Amino acid sequence: MPAPKQTIRRSLLVTSAVLSSLALAAPAAVAAPKPSGSPSASASPSATPPASMSSVGGARLGRPGTQVNLASGVPVLPKDLSARSWIVADAESGEVLAAHNAHWRLAPASTLKMLFADTLLPKFPRDTKHKVVPSDLAGIGPGSSMVGIKEDETYTVHDLWLGVFLQSGNDAVHVLSAMNKGVENTVAEMNEHAEELQALDTHVVSPDGYDAEGQVSSAYDLTLIARSGMQKEDFREYASTVTAKFPGETKKGKKGKTVRKPFEIRNTNRLLAGDSDVPVYEGIAGVKNGNTTNAGATFTGVAERGGKVLLVTVMNPEKPEHNEVYKETARLFDWGFKAAGKVQPVGELVPPKGAEQAQPGANPSGEAGGSGDGGSGTAGTGSKPVAGASAADGSSGIGTALGITGGVLVLLAGAAFLVNRRWPLPDLVRRRTRP
């Protein structure tokens, strides 16, 4: 299916008439069926992609190898890419600018937590409290990344989501799953949501992304999932948080009084938080990284520069260099920003199945809070900018996407739509210099 041209770039006020006319004009997306048979095992995947893969988003995306329309004026792709699979897409129009084995079903690692968050975030107000019992932490895989949750301690939902997004805490995922009627129910809901998003390469076995037989996703699907997640104000906030305070263990102080001191946690997304060999990427605003034995390193990121908003997913670089997944992602972002507006797309990010059923006047921010709590679970209240919000329990950097010194701070506002023919994405319009 050829990717549509973006017809409306930005809009701060969208009337019901415009939304209605666009909904009527948009052609229905045609999703390819899931490949026959059970999903490929995540353990020891083949060294080469299948000869034929899903054609969701366009026939070329189902072909093995690199897909790009190089022409006069289009920059050449980076020559030093080693990832098994990657994709560069316009987050607003949904156009796929280039891809490599986009539908190859591979182990996703903790990038699967994007689907976990997109599925569960709307269910619980952020100020809901939960006391952890031993069964909440049962079944966590050995060697899992943990945020440091303790039994018999009480945490807010806000605390738990900070643990999921910043530290990729499998313990936080399991506690939230327990609140959601258990891991089995959560996995079923994640698979159902993946199908609704038309992420048909994805099969969930473990909600935290821990290596499990048959657990797979693809660069295409992870990009779809990230695009859906960025519709939610809370998701945008947590994904762009650099540091936060997390509740510690309750202990007795010197005078016999109980004290519970928080400790700092830091986002493991190196393009957002930086590292010794990876600078903070200018305009980065999330999303999620992962690393397991079977998956290798995986990453999906969103960044804005020069009025363009791109999504890039990179799966399993073969180069052994430290932080290679971030380095290859940064190079693909650089290419995408140079190529945007010049390169003809090779496919598109399809909308969810129910997108055409969206009603005018629906809440564009998609913030969490359940169905009956009057907004108590919103990421930021009222018209307060997301990036200006301070999290409870002394967290810092909530809702910010840090750029280099003197660079751009990108804020993902939930109060406005950006409208295109295929699917609206919240506008990315508010910018401030780094404090």
Catalytic residues: 110, 113, 168
165: closest CA among 29, 91, 272?
Answer: 272
Query: DSSP states of 305-316 as a string?
Result: ETTEEEEEEEEE
Residue 5, token pair as written in the block: 């041209």
> With b meaning 16 or more CB within 10 Å and e meaning fewer, what string describes 200-237?
bbbbbbbbbbbbbeebbbbbbbbbbbbbbbbbbbbbbb
| Residues 300 and 89 sit within 8 Å (Cβ to Cβ) | no
What is the spatial distance between Cα 366 and Cα 237, in angstroms, rounded to a whole number? 12
What is the spatial distance between Cα 39 and Cα 217, in angstroms, rounded to a whole number? 9
What is the spatial distance between Cα 370 and Cα 128, in angstroms, rounded to a whole number? 11
Task: State the sign of the Cα–Cα–Cα–Cα dihedral 243, 147, 274, 102.
Answer: negative
What is the spatial distance between Cα 358 and Cα 26, in angstroms, rounded to a whole number? 13
What is the spatial distance between Cα 265 and Cα 245, in angstroms, rounded to a whole number? 6
Inter-CA distances, 210 with 109, 180, 202, 330, Å: 6, 19, 14, 25
Residue 134 phi/psi, 5-degree rounding, is -55, -40
Grouping H, G, I as helix, E, B as strand and the rest as coil, residue 6 is: coil
Cis preceding linkage at 287, omega within 30: yes
What is the spatial distance between Cα 124 and Cα 376, in angstroms, rounded to a whole number? 9
| Residues 335 and 75 sit within 8 Å (Cβ to Cβ) | yes
What is the spatial distance between Cα 410 and Cα 432, in angstroms, rounded to a whole number? 7
| Residues 276 and 180 sit within 8 Å (Cβ to Cβ) | no
Angle at which helix 157-167 crosses helix 113-120, to 10 degrees, equals 160
Amino acid symbol at 131: K
Residue 246, token pair as written in the block: 């997390």
Q: Work out the angle at residue 411's Cα, subtended by the Cα atoms of residues 409 and 413, and round it to the nearest 5 degrees.
A: 165
